Structure 1
Amino acid sequence: MNDFSQRWTTRLHEGFPLLKAMQVQLLGDQSGWQLTAPYGPNQNDHHSAFGGSISTLATIAGWLWVSELAGPGVNVVIQTGNTHFLSPLQADLIAHVCPPEASQTARFLHTLQRKGRARMALEITVGDAAGLIAARFNAQYVAG
């Protein structure tokens, strides 16, 4: 595990006890990463991934993405979020943030610098290593 992934995994486990119980890990580096959680502790009584785990993983992936973009010392919170479940997942969970257009990112950073507060809308997918997308999560985060 590199410094980036170790730093974030530690922060997630210490700051969010639920994520430690879910065994969430960040894999990758600043140029490309994903959040993962093993299937075992995140399954439901129907032997598929628990919807709460899927939504939580997606929520935190978006929060982490905006936190990295905003930089140190900027607080980020979720304002709204909606999970659309597409199919059952019976494998390790992988959350991936769909990067917004560069103009949206630039507008967010400009507004944050100018006003000290900005909003960012994101789409996050949760699926498996084979490419199945089990859920799409659309959310808005506020940084300030």
Structure 2
Amino acid sequence: MTQLGRFQKRIHDAIPITRALGIEVLDYDGRALLVSAPLEPNHNHQGTGFGGSVYSLAVTSAWGLIELAIADMGLKGNVVVQSGSIDYLTPVEGNFYALCRLPAGEVPDRFRKSLARHGKGRLALHADVYCGEPTMEPRGAPVATFQGRFVVQDTVSRPVL
């Protein structure tokens, strides 16, 4: 099983609603994570994307990006969303996807140092949600934008100094 396949299984096992929403992990390049969801199980009474589903996809992309990035750093940690907000810009009229990128393409030094020294770090991330065929290089405007702040607690025990 590939890294993304294992991560897909982990997300569905750890966060059952992601299975119900049909969230799929599509691509990860070390700097960005691409996830998608079909409109069919996620529509509202208007036939457009339900706001809670759009939010869930966006927060999953950001949470997942941090999970994968800290694993790349050889660390294990508990990642939780501390705060988040989303702006719905236009109706979601078809299948949709979220793309979350690390700030400046990498894990910030401040976050790395805080996690290494204190076993805890905070990271603010931005994810965009688009309609259409999922891609790491979207061409159109996003239908929603998410801003979130995440906390990571290192699960590696540290010696008492």
Deviation at 1:73, TM superposition (A): 2.3
Q: 1:107 aligns with which of 100, 105, 110?
A: 110
Contact 2:126 2:148 in 1 (8 A): yes
User: Which residue does 2:158 correspond to in 1?
Assistant: none
Contact 2:34 2:98 in 1 (8 A): yes
**Alpha-carbon distance in structure 2 between the residues aligned to 1:129 and 1:102:** 24
**Alpha-carbon distance in structure 2 between the residues aligned to 1:57 and 1:76:** 16
Deviations 1:86-117 (A, max 9, x none): 00011111010032126762221111111110
Q: Which runs of 4+ in 1 moved over 4 A?
A: none
Secondary structure, counterpart of 2:100 in structure 1: strand
User: Which residue does 1:67 correspond to in 2?
Assistant: 67
Contact 2:33 2:101 in 1 (8 A): no
Kindly, what percent of the aligned residue pairs are identical?
Answer: 28
Q: Which amino acid letter does the alignment assign opposite residue 43 of structure 1?
A: H
The aligned runs of 1:1-144 (5 Å cut-off) are: 3-31=2-30, 32-71=32-71, 72-101=75-104, 105-129=108-132, 131-144=140-153
| TM-score, normalised with respect to structure 2 | 0.82
Contact 2:42 2:53 in 1 (8 A): yes
Which stretches in structure 1 are left out of the alignment for 5+ residues? none
Secondary structure, counterpart of 2:143 in structure 1: strand
Contact 2:33 2:64 in 1 (8 A): no
Secondary structure, counterpart of 1:133 in structure 2: coil
Q: Which amino acid letter does the alignment assign opposite residue 152 of structure 2?
A: A
Contact 1:93 1:128 in 2 (8 A): yes
How many residues are aligned here?
143
Deviation at 1:36, TM superposition (A): 0.4
Which stretches in structure 2 are left out of the alignment for 5+ residues? 134-139, 154-161
**Alpha-carbon distance in structure 2 between the residues aligned to 1:102 and 1:127:** 20
